[in-house]
Amino acid sequence: MKSFHAMLFFSLLLPASVGWSADPAEHVGVGAKPIDGAEVIIDGTRQMLDEKWTYWEGPRFSSSLPIKWKIVDDPVDEGTSVMTDDRAADGGKYGTADIVTKKPYRDFRLHIEFLIMKPGGNSGVYLQNRFEIQVLDGDKSKHGMGAVINETESPYHAYNGIGKWNAYDIVFRAARFKDGKLVEKPMVTMYFNGQKVHVNQTINKVWGGPNSGVDGGNDNGFGITDSPQGLKLQCEGHDVRYRNAWIKELVLDEAETDF
């Protein structure tokens, strides 16, 4: 085991733009506290929801401000959480009432916690409002829980189950362009409930069509554009809850997201 002084020395060697500690276990998993320089974007209050989020007005947006999602009691711990409750999305109509951060992001480190109340509960965490990390109880396929949707297998073994809090910890590197052309695909590394499940996973396209996210309707999702976008949470008419979300902007010059 490394000594404390050795670990401290190693941490001092990390470039400032990396933005995570030498021991990621300190900052991943349910209940993880924000790293230095991170911005809290969900704290379970109505004030923060309205201050930092809005609806994504995509092709089939059919709700209206103020955001209809509810602030509800945390079913496990003290405090409150944000519930994906908007009747416009009943029947699985994603894109009708999804919420997105007002602030756009390029490269970043994200922590977000979710809880699914009933079997089959469905939502999704969209990196740059393009690339979905699936939140879907009961699905162990490439379209299922914890998958970089349609790009990886589901790490379902790491899921805590219905009625329990789960945590995604993510480092994301945006696509790179030169002279307007895509030269490096987006990339992601992810911990799911403290287990590393995806490492430097490239993402090939925006899946799900124009109603799913930005660029979904461009060249069948392959037409990724060079623009930062907000973090998006999907509403499909299910009782899925979010809490303790924080994000830190990074500058990842190299194609490396492991932490």
Residue 99 is assigned to a structural domain of this protein: yes
Q: Which domain holds residue 47?
A: 39-250
146: tokens are 């914890």
**What's the chain's length in residues?**
259
What is the CATH number for 68? 2.60.120.560
Residue 197 is assigned to a structural domain of this protein: yes
Once rounded to an integer, what is the mean pLDDT over residues 163-167?
98
Once rounded to an integer, what is the mean pLDDT over residues 135-154?
98
Residue 45 is assigned to a structural domain of this protein: yes
Total domains in the chain come to 1
In angstroms, rounded to a whole number, what is the distance separating the alpha carbons of residues 156 and 229? 28
Residue of 171, 176, 151, 188 whose CA lies nearest to 227:
176
pLDDT confidence of residue 26: 73
Across all residues in the chain, what is the average pLDDT? 92
pLDDT confidence of residue 175: 98
pLDDT confidence of residue 13: 32
Residue 34 is assigned to a structural domain of this protein: no
pLDDT value at 8 more than 70: no
Give exposure, 71-82, as e/b (b: 16+ Cβ within 10 Å): beeeeeeeebbb
Residue 50 φ/ψ region, left for φ over 0, alpha for ψ in the -120 to 50 degree band, beta for the rest: alpha
| Strand partners for 232 | 100, 126
Residue of 232, 248, 258 whose CA lies nearest to 95:
232
Residue 23 is assigned to a structural domain of this protein: no
In angstroms, rounded to a whole number, what is the distance separating the alpha carbons of residues 110 and 244? 11
In angstroms, rounded to a whole number, what is the distance separating the alpha carbons of residues 151 and 232? 19
Question: Residue 148 CA to chain centroid, in angstroms?
Answer: 10
pLDDT value at 4 more than 90: no
pLDDT confidence of residue 89: 96
In angstroms, rounded to a whole number, what is the distance separating the alpha carbons of residues 77 and 58? 34
pLDDT confidence of residue 12: 32
pLDDT confidence of residue 85: 87
pLDDT band at 23 (very low <50, low <70, confident <90, very high): low
Q: Tell me the percentage of the chain whose pLDDT exceeds 70.
A: 90
pLDDT value at 142 more than 90: yes
pLDDT confidence of residue 21: 47
Once rounded to an integer, what is the mean pLDDT over residues 94-115?
98
Phi, psi of 234 (to 5 degrees): -90, 140
Once rounded to an integer, what is the mean pLDDT over residues 115-129?
98
Residue 172 is assigned to a structural domain of this protein: yes
Tens digits of residue pLDDT in 179-204: 999 999 999 999 999 999 999 999 99
| Strand partners for 168 | 112, 192
Residue 9 is assigned to a structural domain of this protein: no
Helices (H) and strands (E) in the chain, counts: 2, 15
Once rounded to an integer, what is the mean pLDDT over residues 15-38?
72
Once rounded to an integer, what is the mean pLDDT over residues 134-140?
98
pTM greater than 0.85: yes
Once rounded to an integer, what is the mean pLDDT over residues 120-145?
98
